[in-house]
Homo-oligomer: A and B are copies of this chain.
Amino acid sequence: MPPLAPHPDRLLPADPTIREIARSLYKAVAEAPIYSPHGHVDAGLLLRNAHFSDPSELLITPDHYVLRLLHASGVRLEELGVSRRGLPSDAVGREVFRAFCANWHVFLGTPVSYWFESEFAEVFGVTEHPSAATSDAIYNQICEVLTTEAFRPRALFERFNIAVLATTDDPADDLGAHAALRKDDSFAGRVLPTFRADIYMTPDHPSWISKLGGLAAGSGIDTGTYSGLLAALRNRRAYFKDHGCTSTDAGTADAWAIPLDDADAQRLHAAGMAGTISTDEAVAYRRNMLYQFAKMSMEDGLVMQLHSGVIRSHHKPTLEEYGPDTGHDLPDAAAYTRPLQRVLNDFGTDPAFRLVLFTVDETVFSREIAPLAGFYPSVYVGAPWWFIDSPAAIDRFRAAATDSAGFYKTSGFIDDTRAFCSIPARHDMSRRVDAGYLARLVATHQLSEEHAHTVAQDLVAKIPKETFRL
């Protein structure tokens, strides 16, 4: 078996004519700075700038992409280092890594294998394919480089050429790490918070009341009433904006956004506080909050990201044993056109309002999101995300969305990752797939090569910067 060595033409179409065009397009953007307007890296990581300690803690345990397919193949989550019942895992890093390498075949053909090959080879210099036999050697090699200066978070940030990195943050967060990073003259990177207030929308969630308490403490505003909560959220949005935030994120079960009148909303808020709210009432409360969030975005100009249509924690026994984000959040059928009609009638043509729509149900790209973005100035087509942020799905996304929305009403790539070291591989993947897509349009004479170059370059800079108001 030849050594692990990602091919310079990987992901580019195989046809020689198209590949030649794609190469040229890709080459022009390959080294461009990375705009990462949506992700889950912790700002504290860059503030502390500590050495990463263990390859498995860095690459395996926190990545639900990896966990889920290993679990599906019979590996238990505790064998992968996942904390059980809140207790520290006693899994040994080397053994977790071996469980991953020994099951490498289950990832063949998936984006996980693609990212890991790029990351292993290009970030860590690994030259062997993962397997039970090579696991220890690869583990040792990564352990070793992690002790070097070049592999501390800030050095990687610079090496990865990240122009902007957005984090995801609770409204009650004091953004101390962000503030400290901005003040730190030794770090030139731009790290921005993102305002994510999902939990405050769900009065039947067990943590809702305690989260309201935290938000009250953070904002100095009583959140015991509905109007207080709205005021506290507005207060924190302003605080986030002062700390460089340009966008919010909302992850909801569905995209319905229907305003309640204040008295009804207050009544439901009180029922939530009293623990007497019904499921239907909680849904109505959540849908009103989504409407209010849109209204706030229209008022303060923070770009509203909406990621709807995921069923969270499908397997209750795993939730109880291992907690959330352990691989069993699952896609649901999505809808946007009807659910968002009220929001778009009220704010859809307001120049201050901007709404980026994401989905894990591919059918809505051509049926709903692209047509919405193809009429409403406020709406942008969010890049494929989570289950569909793969080479094949990104290509399908372009084919599905371009007809109605073109390129300039799409958001640019988002990596949505917790895996810091996978950021370059993910953005590189997107650039290659887009180069291939554009090259096919050129080779079939649907787009001039000159125009294709402009689009390819705009997709990695102008488009994300404008979409997210960076």
- The chain A residues found within 8 Å of chain B, CB to CB, are 1-2, 6-7, 9-18, 68-69, 71-74, 105-111, 113-114, 129, 311, 314-318, 327-328, 330-333, 335, 337-338, 341, 344-345, 348-349, 351, 360-363, 366-368, 371-377, 379, 387-388, 390-393, 396, 399, 402-409, 438, 440-441, 443-448, 450-451, 454-455
Contact = CB atoms under 8 A, between A and B. Distances in A.
A64 to B, nearest CB: 9
A126 to B, nearest CB: 15
Given A372-B330, A390-B403, A403-B393, A114 B72 contact: no
A315 B443 contact: no
B315 A377 contact: no
A105 to B, nearest CB: 6
B315 A345 contact: yes
A1 B450 contact: yes
Nearest to A376: B72
Contacts of A341: 314
A337 B318 contact: no
A9 B366 contact: no
B311 A455 contact: no
Given A74-B351, A388-B403, 5 more contacts: A1-B448, A69-B404, A69-B405, A72-B375, A330-B368
Contacts of A368: 330-331
Nearest to A1: B450
A92 B128 CA distance: 66
Oligomer copy total: 3
A73 B446 contact: no
Nearest to A399: B392
A6 B447 CA distance: 10
Contacts of A328: 375-376
B391 A446 contact: yes
B403 A108 contact: no
Given A331-B367, A440-B14, A129 B374 contact: no
A141 to B, nearest CB: 20
Contact of A392 (B74, B344, B402): B402
A455 B348 CA distance: 46
Given A72-B405, A371-B387, A109 B441 contact: yes
Contacts of A403: 110-111, 387-388, 390, 392-393
Interface centre among A71, A330, A376 (most CB of B within 10 A): A330
Nearest to A378: B72
Contact of A444 (B10, B17, B338, B376): B10
Contacts of A337: 311, 314, 330-332
A72 B445 contact: no
A279 to B, nearest CB: 15
A259 to B, nearest CB: 15
A452 to B, nearest CB: 8
A383 to B, nearest CB: 15
A456 B217 CA distance: 59
B367 A14 contact: no
Given A337-B332, A360-B367, A455-B109, A448 B2 contact: yes
Contacts of A451: 105, 108, 129
A271 to B, nearest CB: 26
Contacts of A9: 444-445
12 contacts: A14-B15, A69-B404, A69-B406, A72-B409, A74-B351, A314-B345, A315-B349, A315-B375, A330-B368, A331-B337, A332-B338, A388-B403
A84 B372 CA distance: 22
B371 A407 contact: no
A314 B344 contact: yes
Contact of A374 (B69, B349, B351, B441): B69
The 3 closest A-B CB pairs, nearest first, are A7-B445, A10-B445, A14-B443
Contacts of A391: 444, 446
Contacts of A443: 14
Contacts of A440: 14
A375 to B, nearest CB: 5
A332 B341 CA distance: 12
A2 B442 CA distance: 13
A349 B317 contact: yes
